[in-house]
Chain A
Amino acid sequence: MSGSAPEAPWLRLDRRMVAVDALRLVLAQLPALVALVVVGVDADTVWPLLGVAAFGAVSAVADLVRWSRTRYRVTAEHVERRTGLFVVRHRSVRRDRIRSVDADARLLRRLAGLRRVTIGAGQVNTAGESALTLDALSLDAALALRRDLLDGAGPPDALATLARFRWTWVFYNMVNVWAYVMAAGLLWGAYWTATMFGADPGGWVGGLADWDALGPWRTALVVLAAVGLLGFLGMAGAYFTEHAHFRLERVPTENGTALRTTQGLLKTREITRDDARLRGVALSEPLLWRWAGVTDTSVITTGLSRWSVAATVLPRGPRGVARRVADAVLAEPVSPLAARLAPHPAAARRRRLCWAAAVAAAGALVLYWLAATTALPAATWWLGALALLLPGALLAEAGYRALGHAVSGRYLVLRSGAVSRATSALRRDAVSGVRVRQSLLQRRLGLATVSVSTAAGYGVYTAHDLAAADAAPFAADALPHLAPFLAAPGERPPARDPRGRAAVRQL
């Protein structure tokens, strides 16, 4: 206990962690015991299970040591934690820096009524790294700590529920390339376990169908479909465990409001994001799933990077829901996301096509050179060029069509991205700098790119390939400080590039 009277006392983590660790110690021995005693597996093949048991024992004991050596306290200015056996680490986080207080629990901790509390205090670019973890506190202590650190007042009742879990969203989250990775993992684990207990999964699968009669192509198709199905089911399961009971709410805090998400089946994850730090929202729509309206929704806030999970306020879902939630998050009288986005000049398409052609030409050149100097067949160079040019041109078109920008009330709305179309609504008063760029090609085509920098989210949001004449006025809309540097009306470029207009007519 520390010295002077008003100082907060150092506290231990919850005692029930001892029971949890003891139980973990016992549980870790079970697979090996079952294999050796019940199934009677050969001692030679059981060593991986013994490894699992040893690892479980060591980690449980290590956790016990960690528990016994950890103390924490909450003072008027700081949250402090001391931990470590040989090297004592002391970490303190200033309370006004605290951005989020997460409480989650895996099964054992949950059964014991414990919660692991993660106190996040990120800065731009270092966000995502949680500042301090207390593993674990009792549910009451965790709730009290969160109240103390974030809310001040009693348990906040939601002012409004912006979104709730819907089981149909699972379809947006299970069909995914990662499904195959997951299926591979599941199959490998199943195969390994089965062989350990003396089964023969290879023979079992071989006996399922007359594979020889199917031929290699159909076999491949069946395997692909079966593995895919397994993966999709796995993804669906993972989605349910992670997102069940999802709720997005606006809750009152000591000095305003915050967005709170609660989610998880076994492990409840709760993230609170202060509304005072909110600077906008971003919707992103992957190209391959555009037809299905698949959309990811995240908030642009200071103190959290866009890559941090905390920025995501809604699981991947249909565009309509994402739009509604984004509008509710912003709570503007006129939704910025409903603003009609100005399309960018046709020259922007030509710029993209030029780049696609340049990439294809470079690829063809390399292949031509390889064909001339090595045994590569001579036809590869134009085949390679075609293989690069077609997707390149399609991406160029998709990239061009994604372009758009608007100024809507307090917000800038920017849309771009070929593979993943991102629509970002960023508050204008959050803009902390402007950069206008123009390459030689852009200059020839009468285009310019405007980037606004901000302390929130990605840090930079860009309107690619505006008409050169629109660039400076748009930049001045984004940042009024730029207005004094606008050229006198007579010195500005013509309102529209005549060549650009002719090109529009031709198309």
Chain B
Amino acid sequence: MLTHAVPDGIGLRPPRHRVERRTIALWAVRAVGGAVAAAAPPTLVHLLWPDARPWAGPLLAVVAGLGVLHALVMPGVRYAVHRWEVTDASVYAAGGWVVREWRVAPVSRIQTVDTTRGPVERLLGLSTLVVTTASSSGAVRVRGLAPAVAEEAAERLNTLTQRTPGDAT
């Protein structure tokens, strides 16, 4: 087992594998994109509507400041926190940054296993493993895997799932 990435106060050991280091770039790109989207409306108001500048200016400053802070801090924290592991019985993933999250999905309850690649992920050579169960609570997503690793994990999970009887509900 690797050394403890971040000591957690939860009584769970961290999952075995880290995500790829270049995922930091992925998170940074996403954070910058989000910041630009959030800053666009106040910027437009500021430029097009001079009467609104007394409040649009401070708002823009706050939004931009938070956006920059987010883009600087979040990727590094996430890289330290995000980890994953697939065993014969379950998928185990840890993630988050301000709100940390540990998720376990038993193989016997898995309904679908997918790997997805967005445009930025494709540029960076990354892949996301998506595991869904019968619950409506959302899939377990592991971002930032090397495509070969994600494929292999998905294949393994698919084989394991087929071997497990039952309708997974």
| Partner-B contacts on A (CB < 8 A) | 124-125, 302, 373, 430, 432-440, 443, 446, 448, 451, 453-456, 459-460, 468-469, 471-473, 475, 479, 481-482, 484-488, 491-493
Given contacts A436-B101, A438-B100, A440-B98, contact A486 B12 (CB under 8 A): yes
Bits for B134-160, please: 1 = Cβ < 8 Å to A, else 0.
Answer: 111100100000000000000000000
Given contacts A471-B10, A485-B13, A493-B11, contact A435 B103 (CB under 8 A): yes
B87 on the A face (CB < 8 A):
yes
Count of chain A to chain B residue pairs whose CB atoms are closer than 8 Å in the complex: 121
* Residues on the B chain within 8 Å of A455, using CB: 133-135, 168-169
* Residues on the B chain within 8 Å of A436, using CB: 10, 12, 101-103
CA distance A456 to B136 in the complex (A): 9
* Residues on the A chain within 8 Å of B104, using CB: 433-435, 475, 479, 481-482, 485
Which of the listed residues A468, A473, A481, A491 has the most CB atoms from chain B within 10 Å of its own CB? Answer: A481
Which of the listed residues B4, B106, B140, B168 has the most CB atoms from chain A within 10 Å of its own CB? Answer: B106
* Residues on the A chain within 8 Å of B42, using CB: none
Given contact pairs A435-B104, A455-B134, A460-B136, a sample of 12 additional A-B residue pairs in the complex whose CB atoms are under 8 Å apart: A124-B135, A433-B135, A436-B12, A437-B99, A439-B100, A455-B169, A460-B135, A475-B104, A481-B104, A485-B92, A486-B12, A491-B4
B109 touches A485 (CB 8 A): no
Write the nearest CB–CB distance from A426 to chain B, whole angstroms.
Answer: 12
* Residues on the B chain within 8 Å of A443, using CB: 9, 100
B92 touches A433 (CB 8 A): no
* Residues on the A chain within 8 Å of B8, using CB: 438
CA distance A469 to B8 in the complex (A): 11
Beta-carbon contacts under 8 Å, B72-107 to A: 85, 87, 89-90, 92, 96, 98-106
CA distance A451 to B10 in the complex (A): 14
B67 on the A face (CB < 8 A):
no
B10 touches A439 (CB 8 A): no
Which of A302, A432, A438, A451 meets B106, CB within 8 Å? A432
Which of the listed residues B85, B92, B98, B137 has the most CB atoms from chain A within 10 Å of its own CB? Answer: B137
Q: Which residue of B lies closest to A492 (CB)?
A: B11
B137 touches A433 (CB 8 A): yes
Q: Which residue of A lies closest to B90 (CB)?
A: A481
B12 touches A432 (CB 8 A): no
A433 touches B105 (CB 8 A): yes
* Residues on the B chain within 8 Å of A373, using CB: 54-55
A432 touches B105 (CB 8 A): yes
A473 touches B135 (CB 8 A): no
* Residues on the B chain within 8 Å of A439, using CB: 98-100
Which of the listed residues A432, A460, A479, A484 has the most CB atoms from chain B within 10 Å of its own CB? Answer: A432
Given contacts A438-B99, A439-B99, A479-B104, contact A487 B13 (CB under 8 A): yes
* Residues on the B chain within 8 Å of A435, using CB: 101-104, 137
CA distance A437 to B96 in the complex (A): 9
Q: Which residue of A lies closest to B140 (CB)?
A: A433
B137 touches A459 (CB 8 A): yes
| 22 A-B contact pairs sorted by A residue (CB < 8 Å) | A432-B169, A433-B103, A433-B106, A433-B133, A436-B102, A437-B96, A437-B102, A439-B100, A446-B9, A453-B137, A454-B134, A455-B133, A455-B168, A459-B136, A479-B104, A481-B90, A481-B106, A485-B104, A487-B11, A487-B13, A488-B13, A491-B4
* Residues on the A chain within 8 Å of B15, using CB: 485
Write the nearest CB–CB distance from B81 to chain A, whole angstroms.
Answer: 11
* Residues on the B chain within 8 Å of A448, using CB: 9-10
Given contacts A472-B12, A485-B12, contact A459 B103 (CB under 8 A): no
Beta-carbon contacts under 8 Å, B1-32 to A: 4, 8-13, 15
Which of B13, B100, B103, B136 meets A434, CB within 8 Å? B103
* Residues on the A chain within 8 Å of B109, using CB: 432-433
Write the nearest CB–CB distance from A123 to chain B, whole angstroms.
Answer: 10
Write the nearest CB–CB distance from A462 to chain B, whole angstroms.
Answer: 10
Write the nearest CB–CB distance from B149 to chain A, whole angstroms.
Answer: 20
B101 touches A432 (CB 8 A): no
Write the nearest CB–CB distance from A429 to chain B, whole angstroms.
Answer: 10
Given contacts A433-B137, A460-B136, contact A472 B10 (CB under 8 A): yes
Write the nearest CB–CB distance from A464 to chain B, whole angstroms.
Answer: 13
* Residues on the B chain within 8 Å of A485, using CB: 12-13, 15, 85, 92, 102, 104
CA distance A446 to B140 in the complex (A): 25
